[in-house]
Structure 1
Protein backbone atom coordinates (compact mmCIF):
# COMPACT_ATOMS: atom_id res chain seq x y z
CA UNK A 1 0.00 0.00 0.00
CA UNK A 2 0.98 3.66 -0.31
CA UNK A 3 1.88 4.43 3.32
CA UNK A 4 1.33 8.17 2.96
CA UNK A 5 -2.39 7.36 3.11
CA UNK A 6 -1.75 6.91 6.83
CA UNK A 7 0.11 10.17 7.38
CA UNK A 8 -1.48 12.60 9.83
CA UNK A 9 -4.28 11.97 12.29
CA UNK A 10 -5.91 8.61 12.82
CA UNK A 11 -8.87 8.91 15.17
CA UNK A 12 -9.20 6.00 17.60
CA UNK A 13 -12.98 5.85 17.35
CA UNK A 14 -15.04 5.31 20.49
CA UNK A 15 -17.91 2.83 20.32
CA UNK A 16 -21.11 4.67 21.30
CA UNK A 17 -23.54 2.68 23.44
CA UNK A 18 -27.19 3.05 24.34
CA UNK A 19 -28.29 3.04 27.98
CA UNK A 20 -29.10 -0.68 27.76
CA UNK A 21 -25.55 -1.45 26.60
CA UNK A 22 -26.36 -2.07 22.93
CA UNK A 23 -24.32 -0.32 20.25
CA UNK A 24 -25.63 3.10 19.28
CA UNK A 25 -25.18 3.04 15.52
CA UNK A 26 -26.84 6.45 15.09
CA UNK A 27 -24.21 7.85 17.44
CA UNK A 28 -21.46 6.05 15.55
CA UNK A 29 -22.65 7.55 12.27
CA UNK A 30 -22.65 11.03 13.82
CA UNK A 31 -19.13 10.40 15.12
CA UNK A 32 -17.88 9.42 11.66
CA UNK A 33 -19.40 12.59 10.24
CA UNK A 34 -18.12 14.73 13.13
CA UNK A 35 -14.51 13.62 12.82
CA UNK A 36 -14.47 13.67 9.02
CA UNK A 37 -15.83 17.22 9.03
CA UNK A 38 -12.88 18.26 11.17
CA UNK A 39 -10.49 16.59 8.70
CA UNK A 40 -9.10 13.49 10.37
CA UNK A 41 -6.98 11.52 7.94
CA UNK A 42 -8.14 7.98 8.75
CA UNK A 43 -10.34 5.93 11.05
CA UNK A 44 -9.03 3.44 13.60
CA UNK A 45 -11.79 0.95 14.42
CA UNK A 46 -11.90 -1.23 17.54
CA UNK A 47 -8.75 -0.12 19.23
CA UNK A 48 -8.51 0.37 23.00
CA UNK A 49 -10.61 3.55 22.82
CA UNK A 50 -13.34 1.57 21.07
CA UNK A 51 -13.68 -0.65 24.17
CA UNK A 52 -12.54 -3.61 22.12
CA UNK A 53 -12.07 -5.72 25.25
CA UNK A 54 -15.83 -5.70 25.93
CA UNK A 55 -17.28 -5.91 22.43
CA UNK A 56 -18.07 -9.40 21.15
CA UNK A 57 -16.58 -10.96 18.03
CA UNK A 58 -19.88 -10.48 16.20
CA UNK A 59 -20.17 -6.86 17.34
CA UNK A 60 -16.65 -6.12 16.16
CA UNK A 61 -17.49 -7.37 12.68
CA UNK A 62 -20.75 -5.41 12.61
CA UNK A 63 -18.98 -2.23 13.73
CA UNK A 64 -16.36 -2.63 11.01
CA UNK A 65 -19.05 -3.29 8.41
CA UNK A 66 -20.97 -0.19 9.54
CA UNK A 67 -17.90 2.03 9.35
CA UNK A 68 -17.19 0.81 5.81
CA UNK A 69 -20.77 1.48 4.76
CA UNK A 70 -20.87 4.94 6.33
CA UNK A 71 -17.44 6.18 5.32
CA UNK A 72 -18.78 9.06 3.26
CA UNK A 73 -15.39 10.78 3.17
CA UNK A 74 -13.77 7.55 1.86
CA UNK A 75 -11.06 7.72 4.52
CA UNK A 76 -8.56 4.88 5.01
CA UNK A 77 -9.53 2.37 7.72
CA UNK A 78 -7.22 0.69 10.24
CA UNK A 79 -8.80 -2.18 12.19
CA UNK A 80 -7.68 -3.51 15.56
CA UNK A 81 -6.91 -7.23 15.72
CA UNK A 82 -4.53 -8.16 18.50
CA UNK A 83 -4.17 -10.24 21.61
CA UNK A 84 -1.98 -12.52 23.67
CA UNK A 85 -2.97 -15.77 21.94
CA UNK A 86 -1.04 -15.77 18.67
CA UNK A 87 -3.05 -18.48 16.92
CA UNK A 88 -6.35 -16.94 17.96
CA UNK A 89 -5.26 -13.60 16.49
CA UNK A 90 -4.38 -15.36 13.22
CA UNK A 91 -7.74 -17.15 13.21
CA UNK A 92 -9.54 -13.84 13.72
CA UNK A 93 -7.64 -12.33 10.79
CA UNK A 94 -8.62 -15.26 8.57
CA UNK A 95 -12.32 -15.05 9.51
CA UNK A 96 -12.71 -11.27 9.22
CA UNK A 97 -13.78 -9.51 6.03
CA UNK A 98 -10.85 -7.14 5.58
CA UNK A 99 -11.92 -5.83 2.18
CA UNK A 100 -11.76 -2.05 2.27
CA UNK A 101 -9.40 -2.09 5.26
CA UNK A 102 -5.95 -0.57 4.75
CA UNK A 103 -4.07 -2.07 7.70
CA UNK A 104 -4.38 -4.00 10.95
CA UNK A 105 -3.36 -2.42 14.26
CA UNK A 106 -2.10 -5.22 16.50
CA UNK A 107 -1.27 -4.67 20.15
CA UNK A 108 1.78 -6.29 21.69
CA UNK A 109 0.82 -9.36 23.75
CA UNK A 110 -0.38 -8.47 27.24
CA UNK A 111 -0.62 -10.27 30.59
CA UNK A 112 1.57 -13.28 29.72
CA UNK A 113 4.62 -10.96 29.41
CA UNK A 114 6.56 -12.78 26.64
CA UNK A 115 10.24 -12.30 25.94
CA UNK A 116 11.32 -10.02 23.11
CA UNK A 117 11.96 -13.13 21.02
CA UNK A 118 8.43 -14.33 21.76
CA UNK A 119 7.00 -10.95 20.77
CA UNK A 120 9.03 -11.08 17.54
CA UNK A 121 7.76 -14.55 16.62
CA UNK A 122 4.19 -13.48 17.50
CA UNK A 123 4.21 -10.54 15.12
CA UNK A 124 6.08 -12.34 12.36
CA UNK A 125 3.41 -15.07 12.28
CA UNK A 126 0.63 -12.48 12.28
CA UNK A 127 2.27 -10.58 9.43
CA UNK A 128 2.86 -13.80 7.48
CA UNK A 129 -0.84 -14.64 7.73
CA UNK A 130 -2.37 -11.22 7.20
CA UNK A 131 -3.63 -10.30 3.73
CA UNK A 132 -3.12 -6.61 4.54
CA UNK A 133 -0.27 -4.67 6.21
CA UNK A 134 0.25 -4.73 9.98
CA UNK A 135 0.97 -1.82 12.33
CA UNK A 136 2.54 -2.73 15.66
CA UNK A 137 1.10 -1.19 18.83
CA UNK A 138 3.41 -0.71 21.80
CA UNK A 139 1.62 0.39 24.98
CA UNK A 140 3.55 -0.89 28.02
CA UNK A 141 1.16 0.80 30.44
CA UNK A 142 -1.51 -1.70 29.37
CA UNK A 143 0.52 -4.73 28.30
CA UNK A 144 3.08 -4.84 31.14
CA UNK A 145 5.87 -5.39 28.62
CA UNK A 146 7.74 -3.05 26.33
CA UNK A 147 8.29 -3.60 22.62
CA UNK A 148 11.90 -2.39 22.55
CA UNK A 149 13.45 -0.31 19.81
CA UNK A 150 15.63 -3.26 18.80
CA UNK A 151 12.62 -5.55 18.48
CA UNK A 152 10.64 -2.93 16.58
CA UNK A 153 13.51 -2.40 14.15
CA UNK A 154 13.90 -6.14 13.62
CA UNK A 155 10.19 -6.41 12.83
CA UNK A 156 10.40 -3.37 10.53
CA UNK A 157 12.34 -5.57 8.12
CA UNK A 158 9.25 -7.72 7.53
CA UNK A 159 7.66 -6.73 4.24
CA UNK A 160 4.14 -6.79 5.70
CA UNK A 161 4.86 -4.74 8.85
CA UNK A 162 4.61 -1.07 7.89
CA UNK A 163 4.78 0.88 11.13
CA UNK A 164 4.41 1.16 14.87
CA UNK A 165 2.08 3.06 17.14
CA UNK A 166 4.56 4.02 19.85
CA UNK A 167 2.79 4.70 23.17
CA UNK A 168 5.65 3.96 25.54
CA UNK A 169 6.12 7.64 26.35
CA UNK A 170 9.86 7.01 25.97
CA UNK A 171 11.22 9.64 23.60
CA UNK A 172 14.70 8.15 23.54
CA UNK A 173 13.25 4.81 22.44
CA UNK A 174 11.26 6.57 19.73
CA UNK A 175 14.44 8.36 18.60
CA UNK A 176 16.26 5.04 18.22
CA UNK A 177 13.39 3.75 16.08
CA UNK A 178 13.30 6.88 13.93
CA UNK A 179 17.07 7.00 13.48
CA UNK A 180 17.37 3.41 12.28
CA UNK A 181 14.04 2.45 10.66
CA UNK A 182 13.54 1.89 6.92
CA UNK A 183 12.28 4.94 5.04
CA UNK A 184 8.96 3.23 4.35
CA UNK A 185 8.27 2.33 8.00
CA UNK A 186 5.82 4.59 9.85
CA UNK A 187 6.55 5.95 13.32
CA UNK A 188 3.15 6.93 14.73
CA UNK A 189 2.58 8.68 18.04
CA UNK A 190 0.39 6.78 20.49
CA UNK A 191 0.41 9.59 23.04
CA UNK A 192 -1.61 12.65 22.08
CA UNK A 193 0.54 15.16 23.95
CA UNK A 194 3.79 13.73 22.57
CA UNK A 195 2.66 14.08 18.96
CA UNK A 196 4.59 17.27 18.24
CA UNK A 197 7.84 16.04 19.86
CA UNK A 198 7.54 12.86 17.79
CA UNK A 199 6.87 14.89 14.64
CA UNK A 200 10.18 16.68 15.26
CA UNK A 201 12.12 13.38 15.16
CA UNK A 202 10.41 11.95 12.09
CA UNK A 203 7.00 10.60 13.09
CA UNK A 204 4.35 10.88 10.39
CA UNK A 205 1.26 11.17 12.55
CA UNK A 206 -0.74 10.08 15.58
CA UNK A 207 -3.46 7.61 16.47
CA UNK A 208 -5.43 9.78 18.83
CA UNK A 209 -8.03 9.63 21.58
CA UNK A 210 -8.61 13.38 21.69
CA UNK A 211 -9.16 13.53 17.92
CA UNK A 212 -12.68 12.17 18.54
CA UNK A 213 -13.55 15.63 19.81
CA UNK A 214 -10.72 17.92 18.71
CA UNK A 215 -9.47 16.65 15.38
CA UNK A 216 -9.30 20.23 14.11
CA UNK A 217 -6.49 20.89 16.61
CA UNK A 218 -4.60 17.81 15.38
CA UNK A 219 -5.01 19.01 11.81
CA UNK A 220 -3.42 22.30 12.83
CA UNK A 221 -0.55 20.46 14.56
CA UNK A 222 0.03 18.28 11.51
CA UNK A 223 0.01 21.09 8.98
CA UNK A 224 2.47 23.18 10.98
CA UNK A 225 4.74 20.20 11.61
CA UNK A 226 4.75 19.15 7.96
CA UNK A 227 5.82 22.72 7.15
CA UNK A 228 8.64 22.49 9.73
CA UNK A 229 7.00 25.14 11.91
CA UNK A 230 7.26 23.24 15.16
CA UNK A 231 6.75 26.33 17.33
CA UNK A 232 3.29 26.84 15.83
CA UNK A 233 2.57 23.11 16.07
CA UNK A 234 3.45 23.19 19.76
CA UNK A 235 1.18 26.19 20.36
CA UNK A 236 -1.70 24.22 18.85
CA UNK A 237 -0.91 21.25 21.10
CA UNK A 238 -0.82 23.49 24.16
CA UNK A 239 -4.56 24.08 23.71
CA UNK A 240 -5.16 20.50 24.85
CA UNK A 241 -2.94 20.48 27.94
CA UNK A 242 -5.77 21.01 30.43
CA UNK A 243 -8.23 18.58 28.86
CA UNK A 244 -5.83 15.70 28.13
CA UNK A 245 -5.28 14.33 31.68
CA UNK A 246 -9.04 14.30 32.25
CA UNK A 247 -9.40 11.76 29.46
CA UNK A 248 -7.59 9.18 31.60
CA UNK A 249 -8.60 10.23 35.12
CA UNK A 250 -11.27 7.49 35.24
CA UNK A 251 -9.84 5.43 32.37
CA UNK A 252 -10.15 5.84 28.62
CA UNK A 253 -12.67 6.27 26.95
CA UNK A 254 -14.78 7.58 29.87
CA UNK A 255 -13.49 11.14 29.51
CA UNK A 256 -13.63 11.48 25.74
CA UNK A 257 -17.12 9.99 25.65
CA UNK A 258 -18.31 12.72 27.99
CA UNK A 259 -16.67 15.32 25.75
CA UNK A 260 -18.62 13.87 22.82
CA UNK A 261 -21.83 14.00 24.84
CA UNK A 262 -21.27 17.70 25.53
CA UNK A 263 -20.56 18.20 21.82
CA UNK A 264 -23.89 16.54 20.94
CA UNK A 265 -22.33 13.58 19.12
CA UNK A 266 -23.24 10.58 21.29
CA UNK A 267 -23.95 9.64 24.88
CA UNK A 268 -21.27 8.70 27.42
CA UNK A 269 -22.36 5.18 28.34
CA UNK A 270 -19.56 2.62 28.76
CA UNK A 271 -19.51 -1.10 29.51
CA UNK A 272 -18.46 -2.65 32.80
CA UNK A 273 -15.98 -2.85 34.35
CA UNK A 274 -15.76 0.81 33.28
CA UNK A 275 -18.23 3.22 34.85
CA UNK A 276 -19.77 6.45 33.54
CA UNK A 277 -17.94 9.64 34.54
CA UNK A 278 -18.32 10.85 38.10
CA UNK A 279 -19.90 14.23 38.76
CA UNK A 280 -16.47 15.56 39.68
CA UNK A 281 -15.00 14.49 36.34
CA UNK A 282 -18.00 15.92 34.47
CA UNK A 283 -17.46 19.28 36.17
CA UNK A 284 -13.72 19.24 35.48
CA UNK A 285 -14.29 18.45 31.79
CA UNK A 286 -16.91 21.18 31.47
CA UNK A 287 -14.51 23.70 33.03
CA UNK A 288 -11.65 22.65 30.75
CA UNK A 289 -13.88 22.90 27.68
CA UNK A 290 -14.94 26.41 28.65
CA UNK A 291 -11.25 27.45 28.51
CA UNK A 292 -10.92 25.98 25.01
Structure 2
Protein backbone atom coordinates (compact mmCIF):
# COMPACT_ATOMS: atom_id res chain seq x y z
CA UNK A 1 0.00 0.00 0.00
CA UNK A 2 1.47 3.38 -1.01
CA UNK A 3 1.34 6.15 1.54
CA UNK A 4 2.19 9.81 1.19
CA UNK A 5 5.39 10.91 2.94
CA UNK A 6 4.90 12.73 6.22
CA UNK A 7 5.66 16.43 5.87
CA UNK A 8 7.78 17.86 8.69
CA UNK A 9 6.07 20.64 10.61
CA UNK A 10 7.73 24.03 10.34
CA UNK A 11 6.96 27.49 11.71
CA UNK A 12 5.28 30.00 9.41
CA UNK A 13 5.64 33.65 10.42
CA UNK A 14 4.36 36.91 8.96
CA UNK A 15 5.74 40.33 9.90
CA UNK A 16 2.59 42.44 9.59
CA UNK A 17 3.70 45.83 8.35
CA UNK A 18 2.82 47.90 5.29
CA UNK A 19 5.08 48.82 2.38
CA UNK A 20 5.78 52.28 3.83
CA UNK A 21 6.89 50.89 7.20
CA UNK A 22 9.91 48.97 5.88
CA UNK A 23 13.44 49.85 6.95
CA UNK A 24 14.49 50.18 3.32
CA UNK A 25 12.33 53.30 3.00
CA UNK A 26 12.87 54.78 6.47
CA UNK A 27 14.92 57.70 5.13
CA UNK A 28 12.44 58.34 2.30
CA UNK A 29 9.11 58.04 4.12
CA UNK A 30 9.02 59.48 7.63
CA UNK A 31 6.52 58.27 10.28
CA UNK A 32 4.86 61.69 10.03
CA UNK A 33 3.96 60.82 6.42
CA UNK A 34 2.38 57.43 7.18
CA UNK A 35 -1.12 58.80 7.72
CA UNK A 36 -1.09 60.18 4.15
CA UNK A 37 -0.04 56.89 2.51
CA UNK A 38 -2.58 54.53 0.90
CA UNK A 39 -2.90 51.62 3.31
CA UNK A 40 -2.63 48.12 1.85
CA UNK A 41 -1.79 45.96 4.86
CA UNK A 42 -5.35 45.12 5.92
CA UNK A 43 -6.47 43.77 2.53
CA UNK A 44 -3.18 41.93 1.97
CA UNK A 45 -3.35 40.23 5.36
CA UNK A 46 -6.89 39.05 4.68
CA UNK A 47 -5.63 37.58 1.39
CA UNK A 48 -3.07 35.65 3.39
CA UNK A 49 -5.77 34.37 5.74
CA UNK A 50 -7.62 32.96 2.73
CA UNK A 51 -4.46 31.45 1.29
CA UNK A 52 -3.45 29.82 4.58
CA UNK A 53 -6.94 28.36 5.03
CA UNK A 54 -6.74 26.79 1.57
CA UNK A 55 -3.65 24.81 2.60
CA UNK A 56 -4.53 24.25 6.27
CA UNK A 57 -1.56 26.36 7.36
CA UNK A 58 -1.34 28.10 10.71
CA UNK A 59 1.06 30.94 11.38
CA UNK A 60 2.39 33.43 13.88
CA UNK A 61 1.60 37.01 12.88
CA UNK A 62 4.10 39.47 14.36
CA UNK A 63 2.00 42.65 14.31
CA UNK A 64 3.02 46.26 14.50
CA UNK A 65 1.07 48.14 17.14
CA UNK A 66 0.48 50.80 14.47
CA UNK A 67 -1.45 48.23 12.40
CA UNK A 68 -3.29 46.66 15.33
CA UNK A 69 -4.51 50.02 16.64
CA UNK A 70 -6.07 50.87 13.27
CA UNK A 71 -7.43 47.43 12.42
CA UNK A 72 -8.41 45.68 15.67
CA UNK A 73 -10.98 43.50 13.88
CA UNK A 74 -8.21 42.11 11.68
CA UNK A 75 -6.27 41.14 14.79
CA UNK A 76 -9.32 39.40 16.26
CA UNK A 77 -9.93 37.59 12.96
CA UNK A 78 -6.39 36.21 13.04
CA UNK A 79 -7.05 34.65 16.44
CA UNK A 80 -10.48 33.37 15.37
CA UNK A 81 -8.80 31.59 12.44
CA UNK A 82 -6.47 29.76 14.82
CA UNK A 83 -3.30 31.77 14.28
CA UNK A 84 -0.92 33.13 16.91
CA UNK A 85 -0.69 36.90 17.41
CA UNK A 86 2.70 38.25 18.50
CA UNK A 87 4.45 41.61 18.76
CA UNK A 88 6.62 43.38 16.19
CA UNK A 89 6.91 46.58 18.21
CA UNK A 90 4.72 49.62 17.70
CA UNK A 91 6.18 51.82 14.95
CA UNK A 92 8.81 49.57 13.33
CA UNK A 93 11.70 51.34 15.01
CA UNK A 94 14.80 49.16 15.18
CA UNK A 95 15.76 48.10 18.68
CA UNK A 96 19.26 49.40 17.98
CA UNK A 97 17.79 52.87 17.41
CA UNK A 98 15.96 52.99 20.75
CA UNK A 99 17.16 53.73 24.25
CA UNK A 100 16.52 51.05 26.84
CA UNK A 101 13.61 53.02 28.28
CA UNK A 102 12.12 53.63 24.83
CA UNK A 103 12.41 49.95 23.96
CA UNK A 104 10.77 48.87 27.23
CA UNK A 105 7.82 51.19 26.61
CA UNK A 106 7.53 50.11 22.97
CA UNK A 107 7.33 46.37 23.68
CA UNK A 108 5.04 46.84 26.70
CA UNK A 109 2.60 49.14 24.90
CA UNK A 110 2.37 46.79 21.91
CA UNK A 111 1.87 43.71 24.06
CA UNK A 112 -0.84 45.41 26.12
CA UNK A 113 -2.63 46.63 22.99
CA UNK A 114 -2.65 43.20 21.34
CA UNK A 115 -3.86 41.52 24.53
CA UNK A 116 -6.61 44.08 25.02
CA UNK A 117 -7.82 43.51 21.45
CA UNK A 118 -7.73 39.71 21.49
CA UNK A 119 -8.33 38.86 25.14
CA UNK A 120 -5.46 36.35 24.90
CA UNK A 121 -1.89 36.41 26.14
CA UNK A 122 0.89 37.48 23.77
CA UNK A 123 4.09 35.48 24.21
CA UNK A 124 6.27 36.27 21.19
CA UNK A 125 8.27 39.23 19.92
CA UNK A 126 10.31 39.92 16.81
CA UNK A 127 12.47 43.02 16.59
CA UNK A 128 12.13 45.04 13.39
CA UNK A 129 14.96 44.11 11.02
CA UNK A 130 16.27 41.49 13.48
CA UNK A 131 17.80 44.39 15.42
CA UNK A 132 18.95 42.75 18.64
CA UNK A 133 22.70 42.19 18.74
CA UNK A 134 25.72 42.63 21.01
CA UNK A 135 25.08 46.36 21.34
CA UNK A 136 21.70 45.95 23.03
CA UNK A 137 21.53 42.57 24.75
CA UNK A 138 19.67 44.39 27.55
CA UNK A 139 16.66 44.04 25.25
CA UNK A 140 16.25 40.45 26.43
CA UNK A 141 16.02 41.61 30.06
CA UNK A 142 13.29 44.07 29.10
CA UNK A 143 11.40 41.42 27.10
CA UNK A 144 11.44 39.10 30.10
CA UNK A 145 10.28 41.91 32.39
CA UNK A 146 7.41 42.72 30.01
CA UNK A 147 6.16 39.14 30.18
CA UNK A 148 7.28 37.71 26.86
CA UNK A 149 8.16 34.01 26.62
CA UNK A 150 10.21 34.04 23.45
CA UNK A 151 11.90 36.27 20.92
CA UNK A 152 12.70 35.65 17.25
CA UNK A 153 14.92 38.66 16.75
CA UNK A 154 18.31 37.38 15.56
CA UNK A 155 19.62 36.08 12.24
CA UNK A 156 23.04 34.36 12.47
CA UNK A 157 24.31 35.60 9.09
CA UNK A 158 26.43 38.44 7.76
CA UNK A 159 24.21 41.10 6.20
CA UNK A 160 24.62 44.79 5.53
CA UNK A 161 21.53 45.67 7.61
CA UNK A 162 21.58 43.07 10.41
CA UNK A 163 23.12 39.79 11.54
CA UNK A 164 24.64 37.96 14.51
CA UNK A 165 26.82 35.37 12.70
CA UNK A 166 28.63 34.23 15.85
CA UNK A 167 25.46 33.75 17.92
CA UNK A 168 23.66 30.40 18.35
CA UNK A 169 21.85 28.93 15.36
CA UNK A 170 19.45 26.82 17.45
CA UNK A 171 16.71 27.88 19.88
CA UNK A 172 18.23 28.57 23.29
CA UNK A 173 17.26 29.90 26.68
CA UNK A 174 18.96 33.20 27.28
CA UNK A 175 20.56 33.99 30.68
CA UNK A 176 17.83 36.61 31.08
CA UNK A 177 15.22 33.84 31.13
CA UNK A 178 13.70 34.29 27.66
CA UNK A 179 13.91 31.91 24.72
CA UNK A 180 15.54 33.17 21.53
CA UNK A 181 14.51 31.39 18.32
CA UNK A 182 16.95 32.57 15.64
CA UNK A 183 16.15 32.45 11.96
CA UNK A 184 17.46 29.26 10.31
CA UNK A 185 20.62 29.17 8.23
CA UNK A 186 22.13 26.46 6.05
CA UNK A 187 25.75 25.65 6.85
CA UNK A 188 27.43 24.90 3.53
CA UNK A 189 30.95 25.32 2.08
CA UNK A 190 32.11 27.05 5.24
CA UNK A 191 29.38 29.70 5.23
CA UNK A 192 26.05 30.37 6.89
CA UNK A 193 23.45 30.92 4.18
CA UNK A 194 20.16 32.75 4.87
CA UNK A 195 17.26 30.44 3.99
CA UNK A 196 14.42 31.79 6.13
CA UNK A 197 12.45 33.57 3.41
CA UNK A 198 12.00 37.30 3.02
CA UNK A 199 13.67 38.92 0.02
CA UNK A 200 15.85 35.89 -0.64
CA UNK A 201 12.76 33.77 -1.25
CA UNK A 202 11.43 36.27 -3.78
CA UNK A 203 14.78 36.65 -5.55
CA UNK A 204 15.75 32.97 -5.82
CA UNK A 205 13.98 30.37 -7.97
CA UNK A 206 11.52 28.29 -5.98
CA UNK A 207 13.28 24.99 -6.63
CA UNK A 208 16.44 26.34 -4.97
CA UNK A 209 14.59 27.61 -1.89
CA UNK A 210 12.81 24.28 -1.55
CA UNK A 211 16.07 22.38 -1.86
CA UNK A 212 17.71 24.52 0.84
CA UNK A 213 14.78 24.00 3.21
CA UNK A 214 14.87 20.24 2.61
CA UNK A 215 18.61 20.14 3.27
CA UNK A 216 18.13 22.10 6.47
CA UNK A 217 15.43 19.71 7.67
CA UNK A 218 17.75 16.77 6.96
CA UNK A 219 20.76 18.30 8.68
CA UNK A 220 19.31 20.16 11.65
CA UNK A 221 17.58 18.89 14.75
CA UNK A 222 15.98 22.32 15.18
CA UNK A 223 12.69 23.38 13.57
CA UNK A 224 12.63 25.39 10.37
CA UNK A 225 11.08 28.87 10.41
CA UNK A 226 9.96 30.94 7.40
CA UNK A 227 9.07 34.64 7.35
CA UNK A 228 7.70 37.20 4.92
CA UNK A 229 5.47 40.30 4.82
CA UNK A 230 1.95 41.01 3.52
CA UNK A 231 3.26 43.65 1.09
CA UNK A 232 5.29 40.95 -0.67
CA UNK A 233 2.15 39.55 -2.35
CA UNK A 234 1.07 42.98 -3.58
CA UNK A 235 2.56 43.95 -6.98
CA UNK A 236 0.05 46.81 -7.26
CA UNK A 237 1.36 48.72 -4.23
CA UNK A 238 2.45 52.35 -4.75
CA UNK A 239 6.02 52.76 -5.92
CA UNK A 240 8.47 54.79 -3.85
CA UNK A 241 10.59 56.18 -6.67
CA UNK A 242 12.57 58.47 -4.39
CA UNK A 243 14.12 55.51 -2.54
CA UNK A 244 17.69 54.40 -3.41
CA UNK A 245 18.01 51.91 -6.27
CA UNK A 246 19.29 49.12 -4.01
CA UNK A 247 16.29 49.49 -1.72
CA UNK A 248 13.87 49.52 -4.64
CA UNK A 249 15.49 46.44 -6.16
CA UNK A 250 15.21 44.50 -2.91
CA UNK A 251 11.66 45.60 -2.30
CA UNK A 252 10.02 45.25 -5.72
CA UNK A 253 11.76 42.29 -7.38
CA UNK A 254 9.36 39.40 -8.11
CA UNK A 255 6.38 40.79 -6.20
CA UNK A 256 4.23 39.44 -9.03
CA UNK A 257 5.57 35.92 -8.47
CA UNK A 258 5.45 35.81 -4.69
CA UNK A 259 1.90 34.52 -4.18
CA UNK A 260 2.43 31.64 -6.59
CA UNK A 261 5.71 30.67 -4.94
CA UNK A 262 4.10 30.97 -1.53
CA UNK A 263 1.27 28.64 -2.61
CA UNK A 264 3.83 26.01 -3.62
CA UNK A 265 5.62 26.40 -0.30
CA UNK A 266 2.40 25.96 1.67
CA UNK A 267 1.62 22.82 -0.33
CA UNK A 268 5.10 21.26 -0.08
CA UNK A 269 5.54 21.63 3.69
CA UNK A 270 3.34 21.57 6.77
CA UNK A 271 3.04 24.85 8.65
CA UNK A 272 2.10 25.78 12.20
CA UNK A 273 2.69 28.70 14.59
CA UNK A 274 5.87 29.31 16.55
CA UNK A 275 4.04 28.39 19.75
CA UNK A 276 3.08 25.00 18.32
CA UNK A 277 6.34 24.13 16.59
CA UNK A 278 8.69 25.28 19.37
CA UNK A 279 6.52 24.05 22.22
CA UNK A 280 8.97 21.27 23.23
CA UNK A 281 11.57 23.97 23.95
CA UNK A 282 9.24 26.24 25.90
CA UNK A 283 7.84 23.53 28.16
**TM-score, normalisation: structure 2:** 0.53
Aligned to 2:126: 105
Q: 1:83 aligns with which of 87, 92, 95?
A: 95
Query: How many aligned residue pairs are there?
Result: 204
Deviation (angstroms), 1:141: 2.0
**TM-score, normalisation: structure 1:** 0.52
| Shift in CA distance, 35/64, structure 1 to aligned 2, threshold 3 Å | farther
Q: 2:14 aligns with which of 2, 8, 12?
A: 12
Measure, in 1, the Cα distance between the counterparts of 2:174 and 2:49: 31
Measure, in 2, the Cα distance between the counterparts of 1:146 and 1:90: 22
Q: Give 5+ residue unaligned stretches, structure 2.
A: 1-8, 21-35, 202-208, 265-283
| Shift in CA distance, 130/26, structure 1 to aligned 2, threshold 3 Å | same
Q: CA RMSD in A?
A: 4.5
Q: Are positions 1:257 and 2:279 aligned together?
A: no
Q: Are positions 1:127 and 2:104 aligned together?
A: no
Runs (4 or more) in structure 1 with deviation over 4 Å come to 13-20, 150-155, 169-175, 274-283
Measure, in 1, the Cα distance between the counterparts of 2:107 and 2:255: 38
| Shift in CA distance, 79/196, structure 1 to aligned 2, threshold 3 Å | farther
Deviation (angstroms), 1:12: 1.9
Alignment of 1:176-195 (within 5 A): 190-191=196-197, 193=209, 194-195=212-213
Deviation (angstroms), 1:104: 1.0
Measure, in 1, the Cα distance between the counterparts of 2:71 and 2:160: 23
Q: Are positions 1:40 and 2:54 aligned together?
A: no
| Shift in CA distance, 95/13, structure 1 to aligned 2, threshold 3 Å | closer
Q: Is the 8 A contact 1:21 1:271 kept in 2?
A: no
